[in-house]
């Protein structure tokens, strides 16, 4: 079941609680859109095609998202290996501004078009294709993260997951080694739980 109604975290949890469908088969686009904006902004900053860039945002869609600076690669090279201050308070290149710009870009889309329905539809159709063709692609989708990241109850947030014909076949546990990321993700979990 693909949930294409916002807020993704609330709606996936609601559907899981009120259906007989196993939670690994209930997903939403989550931060797929945020991650796409993130990669596009990185590509604009570096003047390199987005096709050569990887990078994800986890957490909740919109203002509850978190950029994983250690996930950014450009042509296979980890950006943090070139600049260890990226995303920190010591970042002289203002990479942390990209996070604000991702959220601002989404707000701008809503102001211009009145809705995010097109981007949600595109992300959802990508998930449908993954499921129908058993593509086993990794996407940052809203899924049940119970038993991951210290979560002991049903809680739906976006993390990377392998999407196959059965829905979520595997959750990818990200390294939140950066203490700031760990604290911010814990804060996002707390915001969603309340």
Distance of alpha carbon 66 from alpha carbon 180, whole angstroms: 10
**What mean pLDDT value characterizes the chain?**
92
Buried b (16+ CB within 10 A) or exposed e, 48-71: eebeebbbbbbbbbbebbbbbbbb
> Is 170 designated active site?
no
Torsions phi, psi for 185 (to 5 deg)? -65, -40
pLDDT at 179 over 70: no
pLDDT tens readout for residues 143-163: 999 999 889 999 999 999 999
Tokens read off for 27:
């997903």
Domains of the chain and CATH, by start: 8-193 (3.90.110.10)
List pLDDT tens digits, range 26-60.
999 999 999 999 999 999 999 999 999 999 999 99
Give 28's DSSP letter: B
The per-residue pLDDT for 156 is 96
- The pLDDT confidence band at residue 180, using thresholds 50, 70 and 90, is low
Q: Report the distance separating Cα 167 and Cα 128, nearest Å.
A: 9
pTM value is: 0.91
Place of tokens 């604290």: 183
What pLDDT sits at residue 178? 66
Task: Say which of 37, 61, 99, 139 is annotated catalytic.
Answer: 61
- Residue pLDDT, tens place only, 120-140: 999 999 999 999 999 999 999
């Amino acid at each position: 079941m693909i949930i294409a109604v916002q807020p993704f975290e609330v709606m996936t949890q609601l559907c899981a609680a009120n259906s007989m469908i196993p939670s690994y088969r209930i997903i939403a686009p989550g931060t797929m859109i945020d991650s796409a904006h993130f990669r596009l902004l990185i590509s604009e900053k570096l003047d390199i095609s987005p096709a050569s860039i990887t990078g994800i945002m986890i957490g909740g869609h919109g203002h509850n998202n978190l950029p994983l600076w250690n996930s950014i690669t450009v042509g296979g090279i980890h950006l943090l290996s070139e600049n260890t201050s990226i995303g920190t308070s010591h970042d002289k290149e203002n990479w942390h501004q990209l996070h604000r710009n991702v959220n601002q870009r989404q707000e701008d889309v809503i102001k211009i078009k009145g809705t995010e329905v097109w981007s949600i539809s595109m992300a959802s159709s990508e998930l449908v294709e993954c499921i129908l063709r058993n593509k086993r692609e990794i996407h940052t989708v809203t899924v049940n993260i119970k038993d991951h990241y210290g979560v002991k109850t049903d809680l739906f947030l976006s993390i990377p997951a392998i999407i196959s014909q059965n829905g979520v076949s595997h959750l990818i546990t990200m390294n939140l080694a950066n203490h700031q990321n760990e604290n911010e993700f814990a804060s996002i979990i707390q915001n969603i739980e309340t």
